[in-house]
Amino acid sequence: LKVILESWKKILYVGLPAAGTSMVFPISIGVITGLLAGYGTIAVAGFGIASRIESFSQIVLLALSASIGPFVGQNWGAKKYLRVHQALGLSFLFCLFWGVLVTVILAATAPWLASLFNSNPEVIKITATYLVIVPISYAGAGVILVASSTFNALGKPLPSVVMMVTRMVVLYIPLAYLGSQLFGVNGIFTAACISNVAVGLGAYIWNQKTCDIKTVLALEKESVSAGMGQL
């Protein structure tokens, strides 16, 4: 029984913060939708269409974050620290590449994509505006996903919680409210862009400090020395 309770304790230590983090996003989006509702159903419809297109464009980043967690956990547990460091470097580079690629594609095709979902010119305009502004920050959003998955794999759930709360509650919602007062709908979309970039940069720095090359090489050397000592 003691072993079972200890196992549950370890699972819940990571699982509960992860569950709480997952709840923050939909609640925050509900608040943002409420702000957009002040500009009428057209703004809400445009945001809804843009969000669907956004979800599709981020499937690759979600897949990357889902795969990097087990990879980091397995290799860190096997004391292959340098391999983890290299994998994270490549993952962050891919986030940057994918973010730039999607930004260019969506900016070039935004009106056409919007017209596939709705024929109302005003809705198309709102959707296209979102798809021009927000994708600039997709690289940052990808970094957040990868960093969160990495921290959870290392048994450190707190950074993921801090990043999500900072991104959605501390930055996005207040900036969206301020932006809506100053620039209308465009201000709300710009707030999403700013929060993704700011937290993405912070996530990258935090992750690099945890898995920086000096720490990794020191751990690698320690692991090799321990292995030789057992021979």
The DSSP line for 196-230 is HHHHHHHHHHHHHHHS-HHHHHHHHHHHHHHHHHT
* 16 pLDDT tier (thresholds 50, 70, 90): confident
Distance CA 143, CA 54 (A): 16
**pLDDT greater than 70 at residue 69:** yes
In the numeric block, which tokens belong to residue 108? 């070039």
The total number of structural domains in the chain stands at 1
Q: Is residue 2 part of a domain?
A: no
Q: Is residue 9 part of a domain?
A: no
Mean pLDDT, the chain, whole residue set: 90
Residue 45: give the domain boundaries: 14-221
* 217 pLDDT tier (thresholds 50, 70, 90): low
pLDDT at 206: 92
Q: Is residue 7 part of a domain?
A: no
**pLDDT greater than 70 at residue 223:** no
Distance CA 32, CA 80 (A): 43
Q: Tens digits of per-residue pLDDT, 104-146? A: 999 999 999 999 999 999 999 999 999 999 999 999 999 999 9
The DSSP line for 22-44 is HHHHHHHHHHHHHHHHTT-HHHH
Instruction: Evaluate whether 148 touches 163 at the Cβ level (below 8 Å).
Output: yes
Q: Is residue 167 part of a domain?
A: yes
In 38-80, alpha helices (H): 41-57, 59-77
88 three-state secondary structure: helix
Comparing 39-48, 71-80, 107-116, 213-222, the range with the smallest average pLDDT is 213-222
pLDDT at 87: 94
Distance CA 132, CA 199 (A): 20
Q: Is residue 141 part of a domain?
A: yes
**pLDDT greater than 60 at residue 230:** no
Distance CA 41, CA 173 (A): 20
Structure pTM? 0.87
